[in-house]
Structure 1
């Protein structure tokens, strides 16, 4: 096995010809940003801003609580019906299907900040970590072998394959009652902001913020990103104990997605929300053990260092 260079520098990747699929993604991305400009030129109203905020918040919760904490890390349990509801809500965020998202994210944790990480800003730079990995051809296919605990559900495989249905449903939901401006604000503007806010966790949360725990990657906690993403900015906490349903470990660390999950737990819709045990909260504190991230220490590492335990083996099937 080749040992990648572990020095905290940007790896230069050789350019290759773009495929039709990549060109389509670029064109769609440009069109969405042009749509945002058009929305601003036409001017907002309080009703349109409220619509954009509502579709942003609902879909951010769908990404953070559903795609990330549930499908990627199985940090709580729910019924098969609500599992499908969460998956559908996730598809409206225009970040592909739940199985694709979970598989890609599990690769990130298994190979965090190594050459095999799908979006390490220290390896390939800010823009690749932010958007390039998501648009490129290297990560287009859904790795069902990485999500066997989810792939056993035919409805999830179907929704993952036809994830554009979620986007189409949202477009109809905001356009039919609110017209063209409803489409521009409730879908286009909201989606652009949602996309960039979500991807800041990939591009910024490993370079901007503070570190509480001595993880072997470069993850950081950032209060601003946590507010922007309903709790995902407590990224060093998350990499320290990834199976937790809460990423804000302490009362002052605002984690809105977790608060919503707690409310759903009280209603009996979700249950068995995992939380970090007290021993985990006290384990590997940098203040006590020092820094251990190889990239921050300038030490060599392999892509097998700090391999996350297989989620597929430990996941419990929903009832």
Structure 2
């Protein structure tokens, strides 16, 4: 091995220590220094994705902890609340600025979104804006046309390139120090949620045994199962909504409208509509295209918590296919 080769490959222990530190602190994830020393930034960083894989393994705990109505309802409620935070705020607000809200509510839903284990709002918005900028081209971070199903569904964000936040895409969001702090230490939010569920389950087991739950059961169902299902439902929009469904509008990408995906993602499955006009707070353009996220945003608007929900311009509703 030449001296040049020896200097461009970081020792395994150094890469392992770096991966461990970045489980808790996501800063410094460019391709210089230690990252570059690790090789191709498009390769999956297996050391860093151990927690992600571990979450899936922990779902097998359902065979050991049993189930109760309380655990199931908790899992469902956390799925719904966090899905709305992702679709309504991570996507329609942070990524597309489809409405306005206060700084306090902005941060509150950023916290709920971070509890989804889909990274922080700056990372999420930066990648999504790049997706729209380069939809289904070689520069799209998760196009199934170029990457295939698994890479577009999950593999793309497990790479060193996928870990980085492109701050050039989000100057409007990066000016908020609280969002930058949350983005840097986003992992502590789901850790706090998991801890709270474990403590609550233990308390219920001791003081309200009729609930039928326990610390381990509430942790497995309320956090691990709910979070993993939430994640895979969300990313079907990357992997499936650019392949299966109908096209009302003749967009330059492969986006499709898919009623089944719209149901599990609270309206995100009307994806061809969305790519036709990304700036709208509503993605179900037709009366029969149920968009639960938009219903939630209308409810928040009625309470004065959000405002200026951007509609679809009348001229853009015309079918182009």
CA distance in 1, matches of 2:222, 2:80: 11
Q: Which residue of 1 aligns with 2:16?
A: none
What's the Cα RMSD here? 1.7
Shift in Å at residue 273 of structure 1?
Answer: 0.4
Summarize the alignment of residues 2-21 of structure 1 with structure 2, pairs less than 5 Å apart.
none
CA distance in 2, matches of 1:41, 1:215: 48
The answer on 1:98 being equivalent to 2:121 is: yes
Correspondence for 1:156 among 174, 179, 190 = 179
Correspondence for 1:217 among 253, 269, 282 = 253
CA distance 1:155–1:180, shift in 2 (3 Å)? same
CA contact (8 A) 2:43 2:160 kept: no
The answer on 1:285 being equivalent to 2:320 is: yes
Summarize the alignment of residues 1-319 of structure 1 with structure 2, pairs less than 5 Å apart.
22-178=45-201, 179-282=215-318, 285-286=320-321
TM-score under structure 1 normalisation? 0.82
CA distance in 2, matches of 1:25, 1:185: 24
CA distance in 2, matches of 1:140, 1:26: 10
Shift in Å at residue 113 of structure 1?
Answer: 0.3
Q: Which residue of 2 aligns with 1:11?
A: none
CA distance 1:138–1:281, shift in 2 (3 Å)? same
In structure 1, runs of 5+ residues without a counterpart are 1-15, 287-319
**Alignment length, in residue pairs?**
270
TM-score under structure 2 normalisation? 0.81
Shift in Å at residue 172 of structure 1?
Answer: 2.3
What whole-Å deviation, never above 9, does each CA across 1:138-187 have from its counterpart, x for those lacking one?
Answer: 12111111100111111111111111121122112211111111110110
Q: Which residue of 2 aligns with 1:302?
A: none
CA distance in 2, matches of 1:19, 1:200: 21
CA distance 1:195–1:25, shift in 2 (3 Å)? farther
Shift in Å at residue 24 of structure 1?
Answer: 3.3
Shift in Å at residue 89 of structure 1?
Answer: 0.9
Q: Which residue of 2 aligns with 1:12?
A: none
Shift in Å at residue 49 of structure 1?
Answer: 0.6
CA distance in 1, matches of 2:273, 2:153: 21
Q: Which one has a bigger Cα radius of gyration?
A: 2
Shift in Å at residue 29 of structure 1?
Answer: 2.7
CA distance in 1, matches of 2:61, 2:42: 29
CA contact (8 A) 2:66 2:217 kept: no
What SS does the corresponding residue of 1:211 show, helix, strand or coil?
coil
Q: Which has the higher contact order (CA 8 A, sep 6+)?
A: 1
CA distance 1:147–1:227, shift in 2 (3 Å)? same
